[in-house]
């Protein structure tokens, strides 16, 4: 009798589409005996990666495109949302799934803590994107009173969620969180390493620079991915305006990704201020494929990640390290910890435009040493697609854990 495994992803995003494609390809290679795989995802997400449908057809994977795409809310509403469980439970029942992996376990903390059931499920796992209960242990900057309250709520919710009797596997994109997450849960907690990009840029650096219209003689600073408030794009532009005049005159900033800021007027004014300071600003307001993203990071002289206490993940850090592109990141959380620990670039407070500008100047002016490159190699080496998909396939097709 064939048993069913389900990967459930109701959200639309670059990470989500890429992860699903890697899992589908791994399933195609493994072809687990006696099991079939269903991938529940929005049609828009599947359309972003046409290879997903082609791989599914070859491997006999069913695509259930009835899963609803969920809008992004505030961090608090994301934590406390109980209604996310219903589409998941419906998909489990529709396919009689016994093994389930949810791609963003963070969105299911509240229903897990409330002990919502999933009848018939023998093994439940998920990817934890933003664990933060251990930040005081990894040298993260102090939090405001409001942040401390939110962190205590999230920590309590996470602890209760990880005690759900059905939860067997937690895959953490932050390896440093594994010891803290393992305390008080019967679930197996493992690190899940964002892979180094398998895409090899087909264009040379100069061709990429020319495609974006970067003026000759300027150094390229890339801001890529979702250009929104959580990732501090407007604050990053303010830092560009605070560069020393001589640095600004030889800097080009390429902003590549969909703009989704709450105040477009402020965003546009920040671009105008950066340009007035002498920086060339190139805005490419469109979805960036993984291949185009890899090419841009490879061509850049620096990658700016001015996230404003948004936890983020290691994907950009791995891409940058693989390309030997120095990063300028927030000091907060896993990203700041990884940059400091592995010598991937510089950290600064993005809410302080002058401080972030100084970090950008340092990244552009100081050549990286051989020891820095060695640290980058050591950071990138374990981040492979096979290492990423292996624990996910274990949940979907491995032995049932008691």
As a whole number, the mean pLDDT across the chain is 89
Indicate the pLDDT class of residue 269, thresholds 50, 70 and 90.
very high
Query: Which tens digits make up the pLDDT trace of 198-209?
Result: 666 778 899 999
Sequence-distant (6+) residues with CB within 8 A of 134 are 176, 177, 179, 180, 181
pLDDT band at 378 (very low <50, low <70, confident <90, very high): confident
Check residue 195 and give its pLDDT. Answer: 87
DSSP 146-172: HHHHHHHHHHHHHHHHTT-TTEEEEEE
- C-alpha distances (whole Å) from 322 to each of 195, 341, 378, 382, 383 are 10, 16, 10, 12, 10
| Two tokens, residue 112 | 């897990």
pLDDT of res. 154: 87
Q: Strand locations in 235-337, DSSP E?
A: 251-256, 259-260, 280-284, 302-305, 327-329
Domains parsed from the chain with CATH numbers: 3-193+384-397 (3.40.50.2000), 205-380 (3.40.50.2000)
- Tell me which of 73 and 172 has the higher pLDDT: 172
> How many percent of the chain have pLDDT more than 90?
63
What pLDDT is stored for residue 257 in this prediction?
93
Condensed to tens digits (0 to 9), the pLDDT of residues 100-138 reads: 999 999 999 999 999 999 999 989 999 998 888 877 777
Encoded tokens for 293? 């993203």
More confident residue, 2 or 171: 171
Q: Confidence band (pLDDT; 50, 70, 90) for 58? A: very high
Say what the pLDDT of residue 74 is. 47
% of the chain exceeding 70 in pLDDT = 90
Note whether 189 and 167 are within 8 A (CB). no
Strand partners, 327: 303, 345
- For the chain, the C-alpha Rg in angstroms (whole number) is 21
Beta strands in 310-379 (DSSP E): 327-329, 345-347
pLDDT of residue 241: 98
pLDDT of 245: 98
Environment class of residue 299 by beta-carbon count within 10 Å: exposed (0-12), middle (13-18) or buried (19+)? buried
pLDDT, mean of residues 353-381: 82
Q: What is the pLDDT of residue 371?
A: 47
> For residue 284, which of 304, 255, 263, 312 has the smallest C-alpha distance?
255
CA distance 375 to 139: 20
pLDDT of residue 402: 42
pLDDT at 38 over 70: yes
pLDDT at 76: 53
Rounded Cα distance between 282 and 267, Å, is 13
The residue ranking higher by pLDDT, 313 or 50, is 50
Pinpoint the alpha helices (H) of 106-144: 109-113
Contacts for 267 with CB less than 8 Å, ≥ 6 apart: 233, 234, 237, 259, 261
Q: In angstroms, how far is CA 82 from the centroid of its own chain? A: 23
**Residue 287 Rama label (left phi>0; alpha psi -120 to 50; beta):** beta
The reported pLDDT for the residue numbered 295 is 92
**pLDDT tens-digit profile of 219-242?**
999 998 889 988 899 999 999 999
pLDDT, one tens digit per residue, over 74-107 is 455 555 567 889 999 999 999 999 999 999 999 9
pLDDT of 211 = 95
> What is the number of residues in the chain?
402
């Amino acid at each position: 009798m064939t048993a069913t495994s389900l990967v459930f992803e109701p959200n639309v995003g670059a990470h989500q589409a890429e992860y699903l494609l890697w899992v589908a390809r791994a399933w195609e290679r493994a072809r687990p005996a006696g099991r079939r795989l269903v991938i529940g995802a929005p049609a828009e997400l599947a359309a972003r990666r046409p290879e997903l449908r082609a791989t599914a057809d070859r491997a006999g994977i069913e695509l259930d495109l009835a899963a609803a795409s969920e809008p992004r809310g505030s961090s608090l509403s994301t934590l406390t949302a109980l209604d996310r469980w219903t589409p998941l439970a419906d998909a489990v029942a529709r396919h009689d799934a016994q093994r389930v992996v949810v791609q963003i376990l963070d969105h299911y903390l509240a229903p897990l803590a409330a002990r919502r059931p999933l009848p018939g499920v023998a093994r439940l796992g998920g990817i934890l994107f933003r664990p933060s209960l251990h930040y005081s242990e990894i040298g993260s900057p102090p939090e405001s009173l409001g942040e401390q309250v939110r962190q205590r709520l999230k920590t309590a919710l996470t602890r209760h969620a990880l005690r759900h009797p059905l939860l067997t596997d937690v895959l953490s994109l932050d390896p440093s969180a594994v010891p803290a997450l393992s305390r008080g849960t019967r679930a197996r907690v493992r690190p899940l390493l964002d892979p180094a990009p398998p895409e090899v840029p087909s264009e040379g650096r100069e061709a990429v620079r020319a495609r974006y219209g970067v003026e000759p003689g300027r150094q390229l600073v890339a801001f890529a991915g979702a250009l929104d408030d959580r990732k501090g794009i407007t604050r990053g532009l303010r830092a560009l305006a605070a560069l020393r005049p001589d640095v600004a005159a030889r800097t080009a900033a390429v902003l590549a990704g969909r703009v989704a800021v709450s105040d477009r007027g402020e965003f546009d004014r920040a671009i105008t201020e950066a340009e007035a300071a002498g920086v060339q600003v190139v805005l490419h307001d469109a979805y960036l494929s993984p291949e185009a993203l890899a090419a841009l990071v490879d061509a850049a002289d620096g990658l700016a990640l001015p996230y404003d206490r948004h936890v983020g993940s290691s994907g950009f850090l791995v891409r940058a390290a693989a390309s030997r592109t120095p990063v300028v990141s927030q000091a907060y959380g896993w990203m700041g910890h990884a940059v400091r620990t592995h010598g991937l670039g510089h950290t600064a407070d993005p809410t302080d435009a002058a401080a972030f500008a100084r970090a950008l100047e340092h990244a552009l002016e100081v050549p990286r040493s051989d020891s820095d490159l060695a640290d980058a190699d050591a950071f990138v080496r374990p981040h492979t697609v096979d290492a990423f998909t292996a624990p996910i396939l274990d949940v979907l097709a491995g032995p049932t854990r008691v």
